[in-house]
Amino acid sequence: MTNKMIRTIATCAVAVWSLYSPASAHGEALRNGGKLLLTNGVTTVEGSSGGGLATWSIIAGKETGNGIGASGHVTVAELPDYRLQNHGLAIGLFDRVELSYARQNLDTRDMGAALGLGQGYMINQDIFGAKLRIAGDLVYGDPLMPQIAIGVQHKRNLDGNVTGAVGAADSDGTDYYVSATKLFLSHSLLANATVRYTDANQGGLLGFGGDRNADKSLQFEGSLAYQLSRKLVIGGEYRTKPDNLSFAREDDWFDAFAAFAITRNLTVTAAYADLGSVATADNQRGALFSLQAAF
């Protein structure tokens, strides 16, 4: 992880802490970090709370129903031909509402020149998210009733010239999803299923819709995780993708991950991620690392 990334996560952590530190006027009243360790999850590549690739119904931050929480993250995925880096902030309100922002930066490295964009061309995207927990509880209540949330992510690709050149219909788009997540505490097992309504190409980095299909479609995101100890979780995720562009085939994503709670407020995640074919480059398999500070 580069010094720039470390400085970014430190800045995020300071900003989050200043919202409700004990030194602030209302800090003690708002701070209520009562969630069980790791039950706030980590941060996805799109800025929402969940796993690395899949959004879950959990709400950002360490707060329970009486408080306000937040998190900041930096994530990098090192692939054979690309590097994806993203960072952002999320706020959790009373363990009911999540508001998130993430900036994605895709470094095309040598592929930039091969695609006619220029060596190391950077594709950028902003993602604004909102999530509402509508039923159930992740840990408590009926053991067969999951926590259910609905959400929206508005994505603004900042490189419309690229998305247009590859055949995308739009440079902006909005995803809608519903997630169901349950932690079976007695078995140390977490299960999640998410259905996403989207037309995003490579999550939006190659625009939205295309010459093969311009309409939104339903896609699935699934996760299973096992808690080896209070501080260590391992698991895997699978995410289906639309395939809208003739220019470049799009494959489903999957990963195998481990998340470790360094402290109650700091979590590091490492994963093996297989993103398949990305912008004409096949076999994009590599390592994903993420650092999250949550309060």
* pLDDT cut 70: percent of the chain above it: 89
The average pLDDT across 129-139 equals: 97
Number of structural domains the chain divides into: 1
The average pLDDT across 91-97 equals: 97
Q: What pLDDT is attached to residue 157?
A: 97
Work out the pLDDT band at 4, boundaries 50, 70, 90.
Answer: low
Q: What pLDDT is attached to residue 3?
A: 60
CATH number for 198:
2.40.160.40
pLDDT at 127 over 90: yes
pLDDT at 18 over 80: no
Q: What pLDDT is attached to residue 28?
A: 47
The average pLDDT across 38-52 equals: 94
pLDDT at 73 over 90: yes
pLDDT at 165 over 70: yes
CA distance 151 to 125: 19
Q: What pLDDT is attached to residue 205?
A: 96
135 or 112, higher pLDDT = 135
Which residue's entry shows tokens 């190391």?
120
Helix/strand/coil for 273: strand
Strand-pairing partners, residue 294, are 71
DSSP 143-173: TT--EEEEEEEEEEES-HHHHHHTT-SBSEE
Mention every residue, 6+ apart, whose C-beta is less than 8 A from residue 4: none
pLDDT at 207 over 90: yes
At 276-286, the pLDDT tens digits run 999 999 999 99
What are φ and ψ of residue 113, in 5° steps? -70, -40
Which residue's entry shows tokens 């998130």?
100
The average pLDDT across 143-156 equals: 97
Residue 271 has which token pair? 């994963």
At 244-256, the pLDDT tens digits run 999 899 999 999 9
For the chain, first and last CA: distance in Å?
Answer: 22
Range of the domain at 278: 3-294
The average pLDDT across 36-59 equals: 95
The average pLDDT across 165-190 equals: 96
